[in-house]
Amino acid sequence: MQINLSELFTREGKEKTYTQDIEMKQFQAPDGVYEIVEKEPVVLTIRHLGDRKLELNGTVKLSLLIPCSRCLTPVKIDFSLDIEASLDMNQTEEERAEELDEQPYVSGYYLDVDQLVRNELLLNLPMKVLCNENCKGICNRCGANLNFESCSCDRGSLDPRMSVIQDIFKQFKEV
C-alpha cells in the first residue's frame, strides 16, 4: 500500500494519520522466508515540518513464524515496532545514498508502507530463536528431533589417531 505524501505539502504543520493494512503475507529475511501469521494495520502519523521535510511516527504489530535455531520447529515471534523517521523531500535519491540515509520506501512522493515495515523488521529480528531454553536440537546424523525422541546414533567423536586401537577392540568383540 502506498501513501501519497504530496497532499501534506499544502501548508506547514499539516498532520495526517493513516491506517494502512500490511499487504505482504511473507517476510523475506537474509536467512529465509518467514510467514506472517498475525498482523494489525499500520498506524502512521505524518507531519509536515516545513520546507518539504516530513516526520513519521507510527506503530506496527505482527507475528512471524521463525524456525528454532536448534530443532527447526516453527516458533511464533510477536513484534511490536515503533517507527520514527524523518524525510527530506528536497534531497535526491543520490544525495540520500551519499549520506547513507537510503530510504527505499520512498519513491517520488509516495511512501511504500510494506517496504517501511520490512526495513523495521530487518532491524528488529532476533539473533537466535529457540522454542525453549532447554531445546536439545536435532541429531546431526539421523535428523531426529531430540526433544521428542531419542536416537541410537553414536554421538561420540573419537580422536582419529585412536582409530587403529578402535579397530583392534572391534576384532575381539564378542558377538
| Rg of the chain, C-alpha, whole Å | 26
pLDDT computed for residue 63 by the predictor: 95
Q: Where are the beta strands (DSSP E) in the chain?
A: 2-4, 15-20, 26-29, 32-39, 42-50, 53-67, 74-88, 106-107, 110-112
The structural domains of the chain, with segments of one domain joined by +, span 2-124, 138-175
pLDDT at 140 over 50: yes
C-alpha dihedral sign at 53, 57, 61, 65: positive
pTM for this prediction: 0.75
pLDDT digits (tens, 9 = 90+) for 17-41: 999 899 999 999 888 899 999 999 9
